[in-house]
């Protein structure tokens, strides 16, 4: 696989920074005749920003879908926090600490920014249906406690002004930011970002890059990032895995990957769009 010496993963939750958080081994995924992913292995270490790049249709999104349990690979295994993962539903992956954003914004369009982000807190809210009916006592205390956390995220991402706006009315760039906020509200251990900057102008990209770095550094969140803009990838990521036609063609630090001839042939050298 790759040339790095990997520290042994610690089972359970006590995974130190730099240890393997998620390991993908020999995963293959196909839809009928279409092979989306072929025999891919790589790992994501705690605390890093791991970029996944590759030309259109390379299988990047499919890879994220495998990681958060939306697709089930025909072959291969996934090891999460040192434990081999059984086939699971997306909401189970979510409850184990995996959050994501989507290539095409997937917000709850009829709800306000605040409600979208509050929905991300759902797994952490435990008060029973009975208290919910009263919206009082423990339920109200819980609601306010989580509102406070959500407001911290709102401040962090600088979206105070659109708190009460239905997200359907927001411009695209802000929608992407709200989607990041909703994922952050889950306080995930692993955050999967599928082209968080697609369709943004330069300024918006710079903002988003800063947010991603801040999330990684301030909260220590491990991030897997799909991105087409090579400048962004070089700036942000600690390690890069490159896919092409569903296969892994390179894996390593950004500079090393950038210099790799296979990668240049497959992706960097070829202008597309």
Partner 1 sequence: MLYREAGQFKTTYAADQAIFPIAQDKWVVIAFAAIAFIAVPFLVNDYWTNAVFLPLLIYGLAALGLNILVGYCGQISLGTGGFMAVGAFASYKLMTSFPELNIVFVVLLSGGITALVGVMFGLPSLRIKGFYLAVATLAAQFFLIWLFNKVGWFYNYSATGQISAPDRAIFGLTVTGPTALPWVKYLFCLGFLAFFALVAKNVVRGRIGRNWMAIRDMDIAAELIGVRPLQTKLSAFAFSSFYVGMAGSLLFAVYLGAVEVTEAFSINVSFLVLFMVIIGGLGSILGSFLGATFLVLMPIMLKNAMVDGMGLLPVFAKHVEIMLMGLLIIFFLIVEPHGLARLWQITKEKLRLWPFPY
Ligand X SMILES: Nc1ncnc2c1ncn2[C@@H]1O[C@H](COP(=O)(O)OP(=O)(O)OP(=O)(O)O)[C@@H](O)[C@H]1O
Q: Which residues bind partner 1 (CB under 8 A)?
A: 68, 70, 89-91, 93-95, 99-100, 102, 106-111, 115, 118-123, 125, 127, 129, 132-136, 139-140, 143-144, 147-148, 151, 182-183, 186
CB-CB contact of 201 with 193 (8 Å): no
Q: Is 20 in the site for ligand X (CB under 6 A)?
A: no
Residue 31 interaction partner, one of ligand X, Mg ion, partner 1, none, beta carbon < 5-8 Å per kind: ligand X
Query: Considering beta carbons, is residue 58 or 118 the nearer one to ligand X?
Result: 58
Applying CB under 6 A, which of residues 57, 76, 166, 173 lies at the interface with ligand X?
57
CB within 8 Å of 144: residues ≥ 6 apart: none
Stretch that binds ligand X, among 56-64, 127-135, 174-182, 254-262 (CB under 6 A): 56-64
Distance CA 6, CA 11 (A): 15
- Comparing CB distances to ligand X, the nearer of 54 and 196 is 54
In whole angstroms, give the CA distance from residue 8 to residue 248.
23
Cα separation, 197 vs 188, in Å, equals 20
**By the rule CB under 6 A, 58 interacts with ligand X:** yes
User: Which residue of 22, 36, 157, 200 would you call a contact of ligand X, by CB under 6 A?
Assistant: 36
Q: Quick check: 34 binds ligand X (CB under 6 A)?
A: yes
Using the minimum distance from each CB to ligand X, give the nearer residue, 39 or 103. Answer: 103
Question: Does the footprint of ligand X cover residue 114 (CB under 6 A)?
Answer: no
């Amino acid at each position: 696989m790759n040339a790095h010496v990997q520290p042994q993963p610690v089972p359970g939750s006590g995974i130190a920074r730099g240890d393997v958080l998620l390991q993908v081994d020999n995963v293959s995924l196909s839809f009928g005749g279409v092979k989306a992913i072929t025999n891919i292995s790589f790992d994501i270490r705690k605390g890093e920003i791991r970029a996944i790049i590759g030309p259109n249709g390379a299988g990047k999104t499919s890879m994220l879908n495998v990681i958060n349990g939306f697709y089930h690979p025909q072959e291969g295994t996934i090891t999460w926090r040192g434990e081999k993962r059984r086939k699971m539903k997306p909401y189970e992956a979510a409850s184990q600490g995996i959050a994501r954003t989507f290539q095409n914004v997937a917000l709850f369009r009829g709800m306000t920014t605040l409600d979208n982000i509050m929905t991300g807190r759902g797994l952490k809210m435990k008060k029973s249906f009975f208290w919910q009916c009263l919206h009082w006592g423990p339920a109200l205390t819980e609601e306010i406690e989580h509102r406070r956390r959500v407001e911290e995220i709102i401040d962090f991402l600088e979206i105070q002004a659109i708190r009460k706006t239905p997200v359907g009315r927001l411009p695209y760039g802000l929608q992407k930011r709200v989607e990041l906020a909703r994922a952050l509200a889950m306080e995930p251990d692993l955050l999967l970002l599928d082209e968080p900057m697609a369709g943004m102008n330069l300024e918006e990209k710079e903002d988003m890059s800063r947010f991603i770095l801040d999330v990684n550094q301030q909260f220590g969140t491990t991030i897997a990032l799909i991105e087409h803009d090579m400048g962004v990838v070089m700036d942000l990521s600690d390690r890069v895995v490159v896919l092409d036609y569903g296969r892994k063609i390179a894996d390593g630090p950004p500079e090393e990957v950038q210099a790799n001839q296979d990668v240049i042939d497959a992706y960097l050298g070829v202008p597309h769009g």
